[in-house]
Amino acid sequence: MLLKKIKVSRCLLYRPFKRKISSVSNLQEIYRTLLRSQTNEEDINIEWNLIRVPSLGEYTFHDETKINLTNNEDLDFEEIKWGKKKEGDNETRLNRYLGGRVALRRCLKALNIDLEGFSPILSDQYGAPLLPLLPSTKDTGTEVNIHGSISHKNSFALAMAVSSRTNYKVRVGCDIECMSSSTSKAAIALQMRILTPNERACLGNLYFDTINDNPMPLEEEIMLRFSLKESIFKAVHPYLLRQVDFDEVEVEPNSDGTANVSFQFRSQRHGQEQHTSVSTSDMNKHININSHNSMLNRTTIVDTGRGSQYEQKLCQNLISIAKWIQFKENENDSYWLTFVQIEETESER
């Protein structure tokens, strides 16, 4: 189903030569698509897009007089205003934020969604992109439900989108994480915070392929599991309407680029106590966790959710498909890309 053609890989990506850009008349030039994939099913279409965002000196969005978005579907002025309000004068974060919107809009365009007059893609209280319900078409007579996910790290922005019939309730999540020499030690410490006892017991048994006898380095496997959980949290949140703790989800990545997912919702917490995030004061000294969306960076929030009975039933009726890819930007830095598709079984539609 999801991303059938994607296999485990270690692709080496080379940085393009930097050049000064004085106008945004062509966003394709400053937001370069590096990798993309599309999957078409009978009722579900999925697209993901990885792009490189502009670095400091390549372009600034703070000077609105130089921004020309005429007939360009990659950005909306309201998204630029929202991003500037959100990120302030931090130009690097602003470009990453807008890069996520560019990547997501390219996903939607690849899904043949008409972006003319499309509402700006802003954020909800959890930082997730807000996408509208599209009207019915003559071909299907059914409203089109779209859901999207965005992640960014360093000079990359990743987005994933799905379009489906409304009764399918399909949700997706994506994440990108960096592995470098500076994150290796922190990744080892991270396992006690994000992995269950069962997951820790399985560490060290993951291989990139069945031919190679060398297992994946432990720190890389831990960060892969972390990234998979981040993607799962984004995909499952619309069903639960609350935060999900790390020990409520178990993932088991496979050497073929897939991963098995199981849920163990702690429904007794619902409406009774707060869900607290893990403190990262010590962690951030060593590792830059992905974004404000990360579970490790969330502040204490009281979530009402949909009730324990709903969660207990939902836990038995979720279908999850997870994929992962690794690529190397250079000899020292590699990245995990993880993708998750979640939907309810036929009995729950």
Per-residue pLDDT tens digits for 94-113? 888 989 999 999 999 999 88
DSSP state, residue 261: E
Does residue 269 surpass a pLDDT of 80?
no
Structural domains for the chain? 10-174 (3.90.470), 178-348 (no CATH)
User: What does the pLDDT look like over 109-151, one tens digit per residue?
Assistant: 999 888 877 889 998 888 889 887 676 554 555 677 899 999 9
Rg (CA), the chain: 20
Lowest-pLDDT choice from 29-33, 87-91, 172-176, 187-191: 29-33
* Contact partners, residue 241, CB within 8 Å, separation at least 6: 303, 304, 305, 306
Pairing of strands 258-263, 156-165: unpaired
266, 270, 273, 275: CA torsion to nearest 10: 60
Q: Count Cβ atoms below 10 Å from residue 50 Cβ, excluding itself.
A: 24
Rounded Cα gap, residues 171 and 176, in angstroms? 18
Q: Which residue has the tokens 């965005």?
A: 150
How is 121-184 classified by DSSP, letter by letter?
Answer: --B-TTSPBP-PPBPP-TTT-SPEEEEEEEEEETTEEEEEEEEEEGGG--EEEEEEEEE-TTTH
- Partners of 258 in the β-ladder: 323
